[in-house]
Structure 1
Amino acid sequence: MAKTIISTPDAPAAIGTYSQAIRVGDTVYLSGQIGFDPQTMILADDVETQIERVFANLKAVALAAGGSLADIVKLNVYLVDLNDFGKVNEAMARHFSAPFPARAAVGVAALPRGARVEADGVMVLGG
């Protein structure tokens, strides 16, 4: 099956050797997004703004792939401070509706560029 690279200027450009997303058939693999503003590539200081930007960035890539956040079936969230988990749940309640994606939340020692949260996912289109 052919791979299609997904890219949009509405989400931060890749800061390494990866694509924003790859589509294979009806499945789209969304790379991790941190809270960069896509225009300035600046990270907000507060975790709430970073969390909101993470979901906005994932949404932009999902749209570029022909889907939406509702098409995400698996979401992985990485947090430098697991005490921020409740804030992630609050943001997810604003950005997702039932049925919610399967999810993992993982505490990590550090994230790229000093980010406090990152999320990646798998999206299935067409059904």
Structure 2
Amino acid sequence: MHKAINSKYVPEAVGPYSHGAEFGNLVFTSGQLPIDAETGQIPATAAEQARVSLENVRKTLEEAGSSMKNVMKTTVFVSDLENFAAINEVYASYFSEPFPARSCVEVARLPKDVFVEIEAMAWK
């Protein structure tokens, strides 16, 4: 049976889902939008949105007793691949070798019309 993960340091979910879930030693985050938990604001640039999304991933993992260094796989959803370089630069500052596996997918639209949403799978 899995356990839901919810953190008071991550913005409330915009739908009927948890910030993440854990099953055994595995932790799965929901897609984290770039909503600042303290202000409720969404940054204006793709790079800053990537930073906030990754901070929300980090906080969710830490709530479950894991960390960014334990991430095995991420999925990055972007609304426009023209923002890939800016998002990738921020993304690279959150991970070191051995880098997690990653998929990056351009989608037609994301909730709240953000530029990026990021989810992760990690172990603990």
The TM-score bracket by the shorter chain reads: over 0.9
State the secondary structure of the residue aligned to 1:15.
Answer: coil
Q: In structure 2, what is the equivalent of residue 116 of structure 1?
A: 115
Say yes or no: does 1:10 pair with 2:2.
Answer: no
> Could you tell me whether the CA contact under 8 Å between 2:33 and 2:118 is conserved in 1?
yes
Q: Deviations over 1:81-123 (max 9, x none)?
A: 1011112221122111111110000001110011110011111
Give the structure 1 partner of residue 57 of structure 2.
58
Moved over 3 A (4+): none
The answer to whether structure 1 residue 71 and structure 2 residue 66 are counterparts is no
**Alignment-mate amino acid for residue 11 of structure 1:** V
Unaligned runs of 5+ in 1: none
Instruction: State the partner residue of 2:92.
Output: 93
Partners of 1:11 and 1:117 in 2: how far apart?
Answer: 16
Q: Deviations over 1:54-76 (max 9, x none)?
A: 11110000110101111111100
RMSD: 1.0
Provide the identity percentage.
32
Cα distance, 1:80 vs structure 2: 0.7
Name the SS for the 2:31 alignment partner: strand
